[in-house]
Amino acid sequence: MESVGRVEAAAEQMARDVGVGEDEIFRITMAVHEATINAILHGNAYDPEKHIHVLLEHTGDSLIFKISDQGNGLRQEALPDPLAPENLLRGTGRGIFLIRSLMDEVNFRELEPGTEITLIKHLNPAKPAA
């Protein structure tokens, strides 16, 4: 679990280095934190023999965070809807929903073994037409 803090700190530093504002830094670090926790807890099932892999990239237009695990994979269609009445009071199950609400793009890729999640935050979002 100490990996979570290191990954989150690296994402925060990268965002600061490119001049991202405090509100966006909070959103980025919260999403990266949640994705890293998911990789360790749900992906690797806390197995100390399994690792997570993290790639942080600044493309000029976006910050990209790729986090992968070595678990059994994620079936997105099997994820419960956190807004369904039967799930509203559950203490878990909102991580992916939260990540999607905090980032501009979220993509999943199945690996052999594991899952890779890509989080993208655009630095200069397009302005709506007047």
* Max CA pair span of the chain: 54
Under the banding of pLDDT at 50, 70 and 90, the label for residue 2 is confident
**Tokens 């079936």, residue?**
75
pLDDT in tens, 86-128: 655 555 556 788 899 999 999 999 999 999 999 999 998 655 5
Residue 128 dihedral angles phi and psi, to the nearest 5°:
-65, 145
Give the confidence band of 3 by pLDDT, cuts at 50, 70, 90. confident
pLDDT value at residue 92: 56
Q: Which domains does the chain have, with CATH numbers?
A: 2-122 (3.30.565.10)
Closest among 28, 16, 45, 44 to 98, alpha carbons compared: 28
Span 33-61, pLDDT tens digits: 999 999 998 889 999 999 999 999 999 99
Among 127, 118, 125, which residue's Cα sits nearest to residue 64? 118
Task: Return the pLDDT at 73.
Answer: 67
Q: Which residue has the tokens 């909102």?
A: 94
